[in-house]
Structure 1
Amino acid sequence: MSGGRKRGIRFSKLYSFSCLKSPFSNEHSQIGKKGYSRVVYCNDLDNQEAAQYNYCGNYVSTTKYTAVNFIPKSLFEQFRRVANIYFLVVACVSFSPLAPYSAISVLAPLVVVIGATMAKEAVEDWRRRKQDIEANNRKVKVYDNKSGTVKETRWKKLRVGDLVKDMYAEETDRPAHARTSNLNEELGQVHTVLSDKTGTLTCNSMEFVKCSIAGTAYGRGMTEVERALARRKEDRQPEDDFTSEDLPRNRVTTQAENPQPILGSIASGLGSYKLLHILEFSSARKRMSVIVRNEENQLLLLCKGADSGMFERLSEKERLFEAETKEHIKKYAEAGLRTLVVAYREIGEEEYRQWEEEFLMAKTSISEDRDELVDAAADRIEGDLILLGATAVEDKLQKGVPECIEKLSNARINIWVLTGDKMETAINIGYACSLLRQGMKAIVITLDSPDINALEKQGDKETIAKASSESVGSQIREGIAQIDSVKESSVTFGLIIDGKSLAFALNKNLEKLFLDLATKCASVICCRSSPKQKALVTRLVKMGTGKTTLSIGDGANDVGMLQEADIGVGISGVEGMQICYFFYKNIAFGFTLFWFEAYASFSGQPAYNDWYMSFYNVFFTSLPVIALGVFDQDVSARLCLKYPMLYQEGVQNILFSWPRILGWMGNGFISSMIIFFFTSHSTIPQAFRNDGQVVDYEVFGATMYTCVVWAVNCQMALSINYFTWIQHLFIWGSIAFWYIFLIIYGSLSPTVSTTAYRVLVEACAPSPFYWLATVLVVVSTLLPYFAYRAFQTRFRPMYHDIIQIRRSLGSETEASGELPLRVEDKLYHLKERLRPRES
């Protein structure tokens, strides 16, 4: 499926092995699986029979390590990295008597790096541990059957069967927490964002705003979606829509996975009822029922659910107001409201008695088909219903959602919304949150057609499946043809597909076609999608495109989607410059050793002192890289928001592509040649000092090492776009520290300092050739990169180069409101290059 697609480089997978990582399973939880059941003894935890089930406790632990396994497990994690294994092998070889360097000089940097990484892991795990402690010690109220009162206990002490009072989550003012820092690099390469709707794009705070009773609609006013549609049509909102006559002031609000509790809240003021049975809501049934006995001793079944499953359960004689109610539901859905159909029926005593026996047998069954038995019993009594009407609740958009999605879309990030809502609701919310935009053409794939509906009434499952698959395939091909027909234009497309169609689109014979169509669209909305479908769609996008995916969700239904994506955000970036610079500085340094060994006929004589080698990556060149990652910015945050297209440098791997990596490696190779040959030819042929002494290999090594330190740090200075005093301190301080180290280390006894004994004070510093060679070699080393950047900025600028030009001419631009002609010309050519991607 993905063989023909170009795969990008993944930062987090470039340097580590994936051994002993457990593969993801389709089944994210045993709960809800076919045949799953459990016996619970409510509020009777001392029961001997309850002990035999040995259910797990409520203790929460999200930590990766324990005090016992931290050292071995953390070491194992460290040595999954290729670089650490390499340096470990080098350290082991250094214990050999034939090694040119001492073991301690090779082992010390490895210990420092691994120790620092383990310390980071420990700090992150301790933070997770503190969050676990806070969660486990949260107070909850539990009913005590012995005393008959409600007592407080800790969350971790809850057991299966406890009756908990008022268990809810308050809104907290907390920032986002990164549970792990290992995926930071991926954030700058996100190509596709897959998001749940309820609780993610919307607040998951349901507000009862409209209803239809006996064919009459109640409630006026405008929802957020209607206001967005009005703005899209350039309509104005009449002022009288905001008067106090719109809706009753006392609104009923609820926060729940589904808008189920509304009717119960209303009914609390309409008399008393004895609750006999609850027929639970499920995504398969799409409805919920209760059986109650009223004050007049009548048995009533009250049912509420999705219109797709409720209308077919109505009695043929009791379908009054059906047409009016369907029309109201359609209008509510178009307004972005979530709807429920409400119906009821009276139950006779004998019918109820027989059904109750069957239902209790099904509920207490421990066979694999327990769920099917329960659903069958519920299905048997949820028939011949009498239509009452429909309710409509509004789930308001989160603050800033439309603006955020618009920015992401402008950055050419593909956005997929996976929701369980009706297609009409999803489409109109898509317009409200800027997922679907004015001028965008919609491609709708649905099985709600007369032909399919006629086949469903016949009940032949094989024929229905075959016809549905052919219909979905045909619609997908038509969509691809529609997009290809206007490829040269700037028209964008949005794809909307319902749950039934999605089930067939994810089959092996259609998934590649579906992915091709979806990736050609700017936005995708999957309606009526189940949790499993969300996970499968995420896997298809990740594996099919080979690009970085990010999923966002807030509930248990989103767990599979969060686990499947490269990055899961439950309610990475560092640019490639740092990694490329690491390649550069190590190749520039390493190849000077190669050239020296070739010059010395591979005698095994080292070019540098042991501790020069050890401190190179630890002290002399590491801090500027940290400063680059933390403080550098090619453009300001304000300009990033103003020009979202800049994000494409990460998505398209412009800053971390193989050509760029090979280019920096080539730059390091050229720098090593310049450093070695210029240093050797400028110092060796003539007297190095005034007394006529020539260069020995200790002085030559110190001189060449000085040139390396200067060159790689000045290379970093040329690469930085935004200087702060900390960056200046780290770059020039690293160079100064080399001289300080050479003075202190060289002043130690010859048995300790070996070849570095007084090499700076007595040999290098007094010689003019040492300083002249340093200037000559460093300037010559930087010239190739300087010339390349000047050529690239002038003739082949990247996105951020163009914005930097605009920023440098900011005063002129701000004054006139226009760009200089040469910058406008570059922006025009940039847009021309991006036009094929937009379509």
Structure 2
Amino acid sequence: EIVINTIHTTAKNNKYVTSKYTILSFIPLFLFEVYKQFNNIYYLANAIAGYFVQVVEPITNVLPIIFILVIMGIRELVEDLGRHKSDKEQNEKTFTIIRNNKQQQIQSQNIRQGDIVLLQNKEQVPCDCLLLSATSDTGLCYVSTANLDGEANLKPKKPTCQTDEHSLNEFIGKVITQPPINNMHLFNGELEHNGRTYFKLDNILLSGMRIENTSNVAAAVVYTAKDTRVMQANTKKGVKNSKLAQRTNKITLYTGVLSILLMVVFPIVSATQSSNFHLKFVTFSLESQVISNVFWEKVVVFFLLLAYLLPLSLFMSLEVTRLLNMGQAECDRNLRRADILQWQVQNPNKKLSQSPYSQESQYQKSVTVKNSICVENLVETDIIFSDKTGTLTKNQMLFHSLCDSESLQVVKIGEIKDAADQHYQVKRDYEDVNREMLFQLALCNTVIPQAKTVDENEIIEFQGESPDEIAFAAAAKVFGLELVKRNADSVEYVFRKNFEYKCKFQVLAVIPFSSARKKMSMIMQEVGQPVLEQHQQLVKEKLCVVKDGFAYLLPESMGLPGRMFVLSKGADSFLLPFCQLHGLEQQKKIEAAVERLSVKGLRTLVFASRMFDQQDWLDNWSKVSQLDEMQPDYITACKVIESKLTYNGMTAIEDELQDNLKDTLMSLLEAGIRVWMLTGDKTETAVNIAKSSGLSNYQAKYLNLTQTSLTSFKTIKRHVKDDESIVKQLLQSLMEEQKNLLPKSMHKQYDKLFGECLQINAKVQSKCSKVFSFIGNMFSCKQMNLKLQKQSSPQSITLVLDSTLYTLIKQYKLEPFFFTIAYYSTSAVCCRLSPSEKAEIVELTKKFVPNITSLSIGDGANDVAMIKAADIGVGVAGKEGLHSCNNADITLPSFRFLKRLIFVHGRFSHLRHSEIVEYSIEKNAILGFMHVVYAFLNLFTVQMIIDSMFLTLYNVIITLFPILFATITEKDVLDPEKSPILLKTFQLKFRPTGNFMLLRLLKSVYVSIVTIFSCYFLSQNNIHQDSVSSLGLESFLLLVILVVTSSIELFLHQNYYTFFTLAAFALLVVMVTGLTFFEGLTLTFGATSVGVFDQVDVGFWVKVLVISILNTMPTFMYQIIKRLWYPSNADIARRFVRKNGCIDPRKQTGII
């Protein structure tokens, strides 16, 4: 219960929060997220252990950790500050409210339940409200729901009680409704004010709606902030992890397990051999010690030494590179809007803040990356879940064609893009448009004309519930019948045919369109216009009928002058059965015309009319119209009107697609990425868009899981009474049909996936089994080598699903059937879905195929839930609100930019990060295994082979910057955007793979053995003497060999050498030279380093050169053999580029 205009202290405010952190919560939450990872816990334990056994300087373990935390913290802060900024903009908007009988202006975040919000035209509704009153010509409140369902058409909302401003100040009432839920189509309750009034969704203003064509609105606040329908429908945004990082964590986990194993084995050997130490090393002596004490001490010591197996610099390198890649994507000129780019070229000396686009959001201008981790995930995308309206289309309906009742021929009218276009010239061939169709286009709608000033000229702009209706009104205007005014019960037009004539019609009743009926009807009556007697003959010739001194424009075939008539329009399959056609021949011609239009992906509507004289029906309609459309009385009343109709013709409407949409979708599909359309729009519209956009080709086999297909199936299976059995049998029949379309070689995999889905769906895990399952998945290397193979079929298959069937599938727990069908379909079109249902489908794919990478893209608040549920959330900055962008990881001005984002930035980011991972693990493995090999030479006494400060510099500084510089511009192909097939083959095996990392680790063992034993034999006289300076020289020699070897390895794995590669090499030379000079001048690197610079001679550098060549020879040979005899597709593409200058997918390149 919510009391209106009387605020209690417990009333909730409207503060909107999407950010992750606050000033107080940042440090604890950030540290919690960081130390959920195994490697970070390992490093922290290592740093703490360093203070108990000081085999290395403790500070050398602490400083790198602090450095990593600072870098990661900066990245998190930068990303979260963007979310705080958008929240602040939302919360600080000012609104006028009435609270405790007083008007006041407050910020949106201070609005509370029970306030009366006063809104004006064009204002956005800040929270869920009950509409009390509205000021407009019709007495209704019109709202745009583009930010909720992606549709720009206006929706009418009915006030519960019309109240003037003075009465509002003293308004007292009580709202009783259900608790907050996530169903955006259900909002019922009652208002207690001067009696009891029941309300439903038609009386509710939801958060995110925008007031249109209504000067003043008063509404009582019901739900605020997180309790609003939009926020309830939006799932919580979980932490999105890098897929590459997940594989990296497994590799580091295996390495950590290996180090722990060695940490236990070596102390045992060391403890048992401690008594024999003085026999081999006579110069040194050890006091007698208890073996158990020696063991535990050596455990800690080896724990410190073997920690170098895990690359600490890896995670610093990844954090820095992610920020750099994020900046590269945002600075890419090819990811900016073309009009903005053109303005910048024409005005090179001006800033964007001085442009006409300065008032637009940054989201609307160019690509914005808010989560850098998601950039590297892009290339691994398996399924794209896309909204339709505003994402795949521009939400701009174009009148395309009409087919009248006489010719039954499709006549293309052309694109009528703007109803306000005063300069559009109608071709002479279309001046005599069929009069019946002209009046159908103009009258059979609820469009509202709105005056608008453009360049000091007043024009008429149309607003309506449906974009189709707006297109009809625009077409009628072009053909000569213009809507100029609409009142609550009448509508006025101007007829232009060589002269202007005003006409007026009364609107007696409207039977609205619904998804179940798929048609709408209007009962109207023309108001005759008086005509002077001397003009009557002229009017008869130019217009239609003159009766009793009044002129009537409506054709007599549709209605008698001054009498009531019915206009109907709807889907052909729902309206034609109620039309009186002239034989079978006419029916076939109509069906052929529908087919001709439909195959072009156009939305077709049939128009029909009839005369009407049943006044008693009108008297009863006021009561019947309040019933639910599924009530028998409502259905009966509709049948009375919508029967015995005369067919007038049909129209075709085109929903204009986004620029370059077809090329983008075709490239994504060619690259092996599935695209599923998830929309709240009706099935016919969605299927048409799928056809016209290229998502589903015209030869595709459609598998329908819709209410219509279920009804047809019930007719066949009349003997089955159980609904669950009917739905299950329908799914099974579609599975059998699909299997028959697939090659027999895929049947086994098809059944295997279905069986696994059934097991997952039936599995109920206890807490204990969940723990064991988690541990098993953590150590499993099942998905380390190959991604899930993408199956394809020669037959294009499109699955069509609507909300009714999806609800039944959930209710009867038949998700495995649905998912198997969807997974083996070329594309899927899911219609009439709520925001929460969109998110559920995204979650469903992750449930049945856990390693799948999903991307959701949308432009409205209704898409936020699925954007948060996916691994990668992409928001499209549409014209109506930025809710999706505020909650997305990446934002785009248009869908077409997704292609370049995935093919170029996703690919290169993944490639660079993979190289960093492989390089870092290999160079640290060399360092760790060197200590292991050296341990065999000193009876496991854990003698440090390299000074701890050197180790820290090597781990954090020396090897960090070269890899960063080298990978800034690293590419495997110059322009992968032009060849989608490269991405398809790239997706089959992602780096780093388990097998490849095993080879690198084995190579690390090889390098360690070669390095230690080469130095041992080349410097045998020095390494066993007690000369302090000689020990320092050998330690420095090992460090230089290590640096040179790892650097050569890095350069051997590069595909292109650029200025940054040269800079990395130069930086490396400078650092090694500087170390060589300063090492002997300070005690920072230990006492053994004093005077080392004086001992560096030609022999020192010869040793470095020879041993480094031996170390890198396997890699050199591997690269030559691989690129010449076993080239990858990227190798082939590079050869083709060198010969032809670019990749042309139309030419034969040898890529498979």
Q: From 785, 790, 806, give the equivalent of 2:1136.
A: 806
Structure 1 residue 656 corresponds to structure 2 residue 916: no
CA distance in 2, matches of 1:400, 1:688: 72
Q: From 760, 763, 778, give the equivalent of 2:1108.
A: 778
Alignment match, 1:238: none
Instruction: Render the CA deviation track for 1:726-779: whole Å, top value 9, x for unaligned.
Output: 22212331342133135335422x3x442453354123x2x3332111101111
CA distance in 1, matches of 2:592, 2:116: 45
Alignment match, 1:109: 64
Return the offset for 1:178: 2.0
Return the offset for 1:255: 8.9
Instruction: Render the CA deviation track for 1:327-386: whole Å, top value 9, x for unaligned.
Output: 877665444344678899977686467568x77xxxxxxxxxxxx899999879766443
- Residues 274 and 212 of structure 1, relative CA distance in 2, 3 Å threshold: farther
On the 8 A contact 2:670/2:984 being kept in 1, the answer is: no
Structure 1 residue 404 corresponds to structure 2 residue 709: no
Where 2:412 maps in the other structure, the secondary structure is coil
Alignment match, 2:601: 336
Alignment match, 2:696: 436
Answer with 70-79 or 783-792: which moved more: 70-79
On the 8 A contact 1:452/1:467 being kept in 2, the answer is: no
Where 1:68 maps in the other structure, the secondary structure is coil
Where 1:66 maps in the other structure, the secondary structure is coil
Return the offset for 1:95: 1.0
Instruction: Render the CA deviation track for 1:68-99: whole Å, top value 9, x for unaligned.
Output: 22222222222223222111111101111x22
- Residues 330 and 132 of structure 1, relative CA distance in 2, 3 Å threshold: farther
Q: From 843, 850, 873, give the equivalent of 1:568.
A: 873
Q: From 942, 947, 955, give the equivalent of 1:617.
A: 955
- Residues 246 and 687 of structure 1, relative CA distance in 2, 3 Å threshold: same
Return the offset for 1:723: 1.8
- Residues 284 and 574 of structure 1, relative CA distance in 2, 3 Å threshold: farther
Alignment match, 1:184: 375
Query: What are the within-5 Å matches in structure 2 for residues 591-670 of structure 1?
Result: 591-637=929-975, 640-670=976-1006
Alignment match, 1:680: 1016
Query: What are the within-5 Å matches in structure 2 for residues 390-539 of structure 1?
Result: 393-419=653-679, 425-437=685-697, 441-445=700-704, 452-453=711-712, 455=714, 462-463=721-722, 465-485=724-744, 491-499=794-802, 511-527=815-831, 531-539=835-843
Structure 1 residue 758 corresponds to structure 2 residue 1090: yes
On the 8 A contact 1:633/1:721 being kept in 2, the answer is: yes
- Residues 221 and 617 of structure 1, relative CA distance in 2, 3 Å threshold: farther
Give the partner amino acid of 2:844. Answer: L
On the 8 A contact 1:185/1:574 being kept in 2, the answer is: yes
Return the offset for 1:135: 4.2
**What is the count of residue pairs matched by the alignment?**
733
CA distance in 2, matches of 1:805, 1:530: 50
Alignment match, 1:71: 27
- Residues 708 and 380 of structure 1, relative CA distance in 2, 3 Å threshold: farther
- Residues 391 and 655 of structure 1, relative CA distance in 2, 3 Å threshold: same
CA distance in 2, matches of 1:292, 1:73: 64
CA distance in 1, matches of 2:942, 2:1105: 29
CA distance in 2, matches of 1:449, 1:354: 30
Instruction: Render the CA deviation track for 1:577-627: whole Å, top value 9, x for unaligned.
Output: 222222111111221122223322221321221211222232111123323
Q: From 843, 858, 864, give the equivalent of 1:559.
A: 864
On the 8 A contact 1:584/1:665 being kept in 2, the answer is: yes
CA distance in 2, matches of 1:288, 1:51: 45
Structure with the higher strand share, 1 or 2: 2
On the 8 A contact 2:462/2:470 being kept in 1, the answer is: no
Where 2:29 maps in the other structure, the secondary structure is helix
On the 8 A contact 1:290/1:302 being kept in 2, the answer is: yes
Q: With the length of structure 1 as denominator, give the TM-score of the two structures.
A: 0.73
Instruction: Render the CA deviation track for 1:471-501: whole Å, top value 9, x for unaligned.
Output: 3321222222221158799835232324266
Return the offset for 1:110: 0.6
Q: From 830, 844, 859, give the equivalent of 1:540.
A: 844
Instruction: Render the CA deviation track for 1:385-421: whole Å, top value 9, x for unaligned.
Output: 4378877543101001111122222222222233455
Alignment match, 1:175: 366
CA distance in 2, matches of 1:735, 1:381: 89
Structure 1 residue 698 corresponds to structure 2 residue 1032: yes
Where 2:920 maps in the other structure, the secondary structure is helix
Instruction: Render the CA deviation track for 1:47-80: whole Å, top value 9, x for unaligned.
Output: 11x65883542x4433221122222222222222
Where 1:561 maps in the other structure, the secondary structure is helix
On the 8 A contact 2:386/2:678 being kept in 1, the answer is: yes
CA distance in 1, matches of 2:719, 2:510: 32
- Residues 264 and 646 of structure 1, relative CA distance in 2, 3 Å threshold: closer
Return the offset for 1:161: 3.7
Where 1:655 maps in the other structure, the secondary structure is coil
Give 5+ residue unaligned stretches, structure 1.
Answer: 1-37, 42-46, 225-240, 360-371, 832-839
Q: Equivalent pairs: percent with the same residue?
A: 21
Answer with 700-709 or 610-619: which moved more: 610-619
CA distance in 2, matches of 1:673, 1:292: 94
Query: What are the within-5 Å matches in structure 2 for residues 704-743 of structure 1?
Result: 704-743=1038-1077
Q: From 578, 582, 591, give the equivalent of 2:916.
A: 578
Rg larger for: 2
On the 8 A contact 1:217/1:328 being kept in 2, the answer is: yes
Return the offset for 1:502: 5.7
Where 1:163 maps in the other structure, the secondary structure is strand
CA distance in 1, matches of 2:838, 2:926: 48
Query: What are the within-5 Å matches in structure 2 for residues 62-461 of structure 1?
Result: 62-96=18-52, 98-137=53-92, 161-167=117-123, 173-209=364-400, 220-221=411-412, 243=427, 245=429, 269=484, 272-274=487-489, 307=571, 333-338=598-603, 351=620, 384-386=640-642, 393-419=653-679, 425-437=685-697, 441-445=700-704, 452-453=711-712, 455=714
Alignment match, 2:11: 54
On the 8 A contact 2:568/2:607 being kept in 1, the answer is: yes
Return the offset for 1:464: 5.4
Give the partner amino acid of 2:873. Answer: G
Answer with 461-470 or 626-635: which moved more: 461-470
Alignment match, 2:751: none
Structure 1 residue 794 corresponds to structure 2 residue 1107: no
On the 8 A contact 2:724/2:812 being kept in 1, the answer is: no
- Residues 641 and 184 of structure 1, relative CA distance in 2, 3 Å threshold: closer
CA distance in 2, matches of 1:451, 1:508: 15
CA distance in 2, matches of 1:264, 1:377: 32
Return the offset for 1:704: 0.7
- Residues 155 and 95 of structure 1, relative CA distance in 2, 3 Å threshold: same
CA distance in 1, matches of 2:97, 2:1087: 78
- Residues 754 and 120 of structure 1, relative CA distance in 2, 3 Å threshold: same
On the 8 A contact 1:281/1:287 being kept in 2, the answer is: yes
Instruction: Render the CA deviation track for 1:256-287: whole Å, top value 9, x for unaligned.
Output: 88757778999963653259999998878878
- Residues 531 and 664 of structure 1, relative CA distance in 2, 3 Å threshold: same
CA distance in 1, matches of 2:651, 2:107: 39
